[in-house]
Structure formats: C-alpha cells, structure tokens
C-alpha cells in the first residue's frame, strides 16, 4: 500500500472539515501566492540588472596584461647555441612566465642576421648579432613586440638591419624603432588587444656608430617624437615610449634620462620603459588629472651575460594590467618581478637576492612598489 502525499492528506482534511469548495479555494490561493513570489523574484532581478551600474560596466569591461623585460642579446655565445639547433636555449628556465599574458615586450639588443656562423665580431666584442633563428626563439618564448632602437641596431650595417626586420616579420613579432626608410621611424606601432588601442614608439639616445644609421634608427629627438605622440594620442587609449639611453652601470638614472622621461609624460605618454644602463632602476608614479602614469627608468638585463657586476646579473620585469570600462581605460595594477639575468635568465627565488632587488628598486622609486615574489614554477 502506497503512502499518501502531504498534499493528498491536506486536501482530504480540508474536504472533511470545510467541504469540497473550500479545499479548491485554498489550493487556488496557494497557487496565487507561489506565482506572485516567483513574479516578484524575476521582477526584482530584472530591476537590479537595470539599476546596478557595476554589473553593466562589468559586462562591457576588458583587461589586458602586459609583461615588459629589459635587454635581450641573442648574439655571442647565446647565438652559437641557437645556431646549433637549440632555439629555446635562452628562455628554457622561464618560458612559463609569459603564459596568459596579452602583450610581452622586450628590448632586442642585437640584430638577427646571417653572418655565416658569426655571432660576434672577431676583433670587437661590442659588435654582435643574433642568428636569423633568434626570431623563432623570441616567438617560442611568447615575445609579441620588441624595440629595435638601440646602440646595437646597426652593428652589421644596413643589410643586417633589413634582415632583422624581415626575420621578426616572418615570426609575426611586432617591432618599433627601426625602418627601411626614414619616413617610418616615428610612425607608432599601433595594435589593439581586447578593444584597448595601443601606440608604441621606440627611440635611442646612444649609438655605436657616428654616421650612416640616422635614416634607419629612430633617435630620441623630441622635435620628431613629440609631434608624432601628439598626433596619435587622441585616437588610442594607451601611449608607450621605449627609450634606450642613460649611463651604463650607473647607480641611478642620469639627469638627461629623467628629463626626457618627464617630458614624454607631459606630451601624453602613459608608460615609459627605459633600458641601456644594464642595471635595474626605480619607478616613478605620477597621478594627476591625466590619470596614473609610470616611468620605469631601466629594466636592466634579461638575456645578457655580464658577470662582471652584481647588478648586471639581477633585474626586474614589470607586469601591468590595463582595464577598459565602457570608453575609459585605466592602469589597474603595476607589479615588479625580480629576475636573475644571464644567458638563461630565471625568476629570482633566493630570499636574499629578492630582498636586495626589492631594496634597490624601492629606494630609487617615489612610490611603494608591489613585488611578485611567488612566481616559482
């Protein structure tokens, strides 16, 4: 014999006590209450969707993560490793760091050209080149954009400079700072990520040669750079300048670098990325009516073997998140990652090394810097 349901028992009791009509009326009343409650719930949620601006903004928001590294030299001994088939050699200890990053930037401190097996001038160790396969090394690591404006951009001449551009293009690595004609030098690299529009300029204040290069490498010349920044800034969300200059191995940024960086921000640049000193410097944060902007005076070395100094072997990467909400783009977060720089760089994991990098960068900064210290793979 089956057990009667609660509803059946209730209906039977109501029928016996009040008659059939009362039972029907009660059931109808219960149905009305339930339907009214359901209607209120749906109406309430619909109303929340209409009046909650946070929800509306979230549905139209986008976030872009950028990771910026310092100097990459794929010449010399690293170039020989690549030439002999180990294209992943430079980044083997750090490949995972670019996972889930939208933009990966670095300063490419060498040409990528075929010199018949040579990756360093036999008479001058400051003249070097990476092999053509170096572009594949960068692509495998996840590099998406490089600056090619630096003092090594012309080491093996015009032909090698053109080869570098072609080799980067073949691996779909965007680049700024050099061109096959001088009309392209101050044209910004324009790209869009998740609806956020970027413009990147790359310039150098130093060069290994006195003449012949000015038509092919962008100088840190305000008369050319600043008008180009002003022309583009109203049509993009973020303007970035990559700057190669300053004094090698110096303790702090030169006055010339600091003045140039400040002038860039006055023109509408939101992010200034410096390199060339081969050692890490601090960060300047500026907040005013133009929003939040950052100057990174020097990222230091990344793939570069300079064991003669402590600070040429330790550096930083910066991780920046840009967010777009409706038509507004703002710099949401800024973090530094402590690195060990070498022919095969790695994230610093030794507590003493990390503490030293944090102290150096913080002592040269005008704001408290957030450091990522748990990037252990």
- The confidence band for 14, taking pLDDT boundaries of 50, 70 and 90, is very low
User: For residue 261, is pLDDT > 80?
Assistant: yes
Give me the pLDDT at residue 52, please: 27
Which of 9-23, 77-91, 177-191, 193-207 is the least confident region?
9-23
Give me the pLDDT at residue 327, please: 83
130, 278: one domain: yes
Q: How far apart are CA 83 and CA 102, in angstroms?
A: 29
Residue 137 lies in a domain: yes
Question: Is-contact 317 68, C-beta < 8 A?
Answer: yes
Residue 36 lies in a domain: yes
Instruction: For residue 181, give the nearest of 158, 208, 207, 154 by alpha carbon.
Output: 158
More confident residue, 346 or 16: 346
Instruction: For residue 216, give the nearest of 225, 229, 203 by alpha carbon.
Output: 203
User: For residue 2, is pLDDT > 60?
Assistant: no
113, 230: one domain: yes
Question: Is-contact 337 347, C-beta < 8 A?
Answer: yes
Q: How far apart are CA 197 and CA 25, in angstroms?
A: 64
Do β-strands 314-325 and 328-340 pair in parallel, antiparallel, or remain unpaired?
A: antiparallel
Query: Tokens for 268?
Result: 């509408």
Residue 1 lies in a domain: no
The total number of structural domains that make up the chain: 2
- CA distances from residue 184 to 150, 162, 175, 204, 218 in whole angstroms, order as listed: 16, 13, 12, 15, 9
What is the tens place of the pLDDT at every residue in 271-298?
Answer: 999 999 999 999 999 999 889 999 999 9
283, 253: one domain: yes
Give me the pLDDT at residue 373, please: 73
b or e along 96-123 (b: 16 or more beta carbons within 10 Å of the residue's beta carbon)?
Answer: ebbeeebbbbbbbbbbbbbbeebbbeee
What is the tens place of the pLDDT at every residue in 232-256?
Answer: 999 999 999 999 999 999 999 999 9
Residue 214 lies in a domain: yes
Average pLDDT, stretch 83-94? 98
Give me the pLDDT at residue 375, please: 57
User: For residue 140, is pLDDT > 60?
Assistant: yes
Residue 249 lies in a domain: yes
Residue 377 lies in a domain: no
User: For residue 9, is pLDDT > 70?
Assistant: no
DSSP 6: H
Instruction: Identify the bridge partners of residue 244 per DSSP, sorted by sequence position.
Output: 204, 275
Give me the pLDDT at residue 374, please: 62
143, 225: one domain: yes
What is the tens place of the pLDDT at every residue in 105-131?
Answer: 999 999 999 999 999 999 999 999 999
Give me the pLDDT at residue 60, please: 64
Give me the pLDDT at residue 38, please: 33
What is the tens place of the pLDDT at every residue in 25-63?
Answer: 434 444 443 343 333 333 233 322 222 222 223 346 799
40, 72: one domain: no
Domain boundary pick from 51, 70, 86 = 51
Question: Is-contact 339 314, C-beta < 8 A?
Answer: yes
Query: Tokens for 353?
Result: 């090394």
Query: If DSSP codes are grouped into helix, strand and coil, which group holds residue 224?
Result: helix
Q: How far apart are CA 358 and CA 111, in angstroms?
A: 32
Q: How far apart are CA 308 and CA 191, in angstroms?
A: 39
Q: Listing from the earlier edge strand, what are the strands of the sheet with 238-244? A: 189-193, 196-204, 238-244, 271-275, 291-296, 283-288
119, 192: one domain: yes
13, 82: one domain: no
User: For residue 344, is pLDDT > 50?
Assistant: yes
CA dihedral 215, 217, 219, 223 (to 10 degrees): 50
178, 325: one domain: yes
Residue 180 lies in a domain: yes
141, 178: one domain: yes
27, 116: one domain: no
Question: Is-contact 238 324, C-beta < 8 A?
Answer: no
* Mean pLDDT (the chain, rounded): 87
Residue 376 lies in a domain: no
Give me the pLDDT at residue 294, please: 98
Q: How far apart are CA 279 and CA 129, in angstroms?
A: 21
Measured over the CA atoms of residue 291, residue 375, residue 283 and residue 66, the dihedral's sign is negative
- The confidence band for 361, taking pLDDT boundaries of 50, 70 and 90, is very high
Which of 7-21, 35-49, 356-370 is the least confident region?
35-49
Inter-residue long-range contacts of 307-311, CB under 8 Å, 24+ positions, other chains counted = 307/342, 309/249, 309/279, 311/249, 311/279, 311/280, 311/360
Average pLDDT, stretch 322-331? 91
Domain boundary pick from 16, 34, 51 = 51
CATH number of 65's domain: 3.60.21.10
User: For residue 377, is pLDDT > 80?
Assistant: no
Average pLDDT, stretch 128-148? 98
Residue 333 belongs to what domain range? 60-371
82, 11: one domain: no
User: For residue 310, is pLDDT > 90?
Assistant: yes
39, 144: one domain: no
Average pLDDT, stretch 346-353? 97
């Amino acid at each position: 014999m089956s057990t009667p349901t609660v509803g059946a028992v209730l209906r039977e009791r109501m029928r016996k006590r009040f008659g059939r009509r009362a039972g029907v009326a009660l059931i109808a009343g219960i149905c009305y209450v339930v339907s009214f409650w359901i209607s209120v719930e749906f109406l309430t949620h619909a109303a929340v969707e209409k009046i909650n601006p946070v929800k509306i903004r979230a549905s139209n928001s986008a976030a872009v993560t950028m990771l910026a590294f310092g100097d990459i030299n794929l010449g010399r001994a690293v170039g020989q490793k690549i030439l002999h088939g180990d294209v992943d050699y430079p980044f083997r200890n750090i490949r995972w760091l670019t996972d889930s990053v939208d933009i990966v930037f670095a300063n490419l401190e060498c040409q990528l050209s075929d010199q018949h097996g040579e990756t360093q001038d036999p008479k001058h160790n400051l003249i070097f080149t990476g092999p053509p396969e170096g572009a594949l090394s960068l692509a495998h690591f996840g590099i998406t954009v490089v600056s090619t404006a630096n003092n090594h951009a012309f080491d093996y001449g015009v032909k090698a400079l053109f080869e570098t551009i072609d080799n980067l293009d073949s691996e779909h690595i965007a680049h700024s700072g050099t061109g096959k004609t001088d009309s392209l030098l101050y044209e910004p690299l324009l790209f869009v990520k998740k609806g956020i529009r970027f413009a990147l300029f790359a310039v150098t204040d130093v060069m290994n040669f006195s003449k012949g290069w000015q038509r092919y490498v962008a100088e840190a010349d305000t008369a050319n750079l600043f008008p180009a920044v002003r022309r583009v800034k109203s049509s993009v969300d973020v303007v970035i300048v990559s700057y190669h200059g300053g004094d090698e191995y110096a303790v702090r940024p030169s006055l010339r670098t600091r003045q140039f960086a400040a002038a860039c921000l006055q023109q509408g640049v939101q992010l200034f990325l410096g390199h060339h000193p081969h050692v890490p410097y601090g960060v300047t944060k500026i907040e005013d009516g133009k929003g939040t902007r950052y100057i990174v005076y020097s990222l230091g070395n990344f793939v570069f073997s300079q064991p003669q100094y402590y600070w040429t072997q330790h550096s930083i990467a910066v991780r920046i998140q840009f967010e777009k909400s409706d038509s507004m783009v703002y710099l949401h977060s800024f973090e530094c990652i402590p690195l060990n720089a070498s022919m095969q760089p790695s994230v610093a994991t030794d507590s003493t090394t990390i503490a030293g990098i944090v102290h150096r960068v913080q002592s040269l900064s005008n704001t408290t810097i957030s450091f990522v210290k748990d990037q252990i793979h």
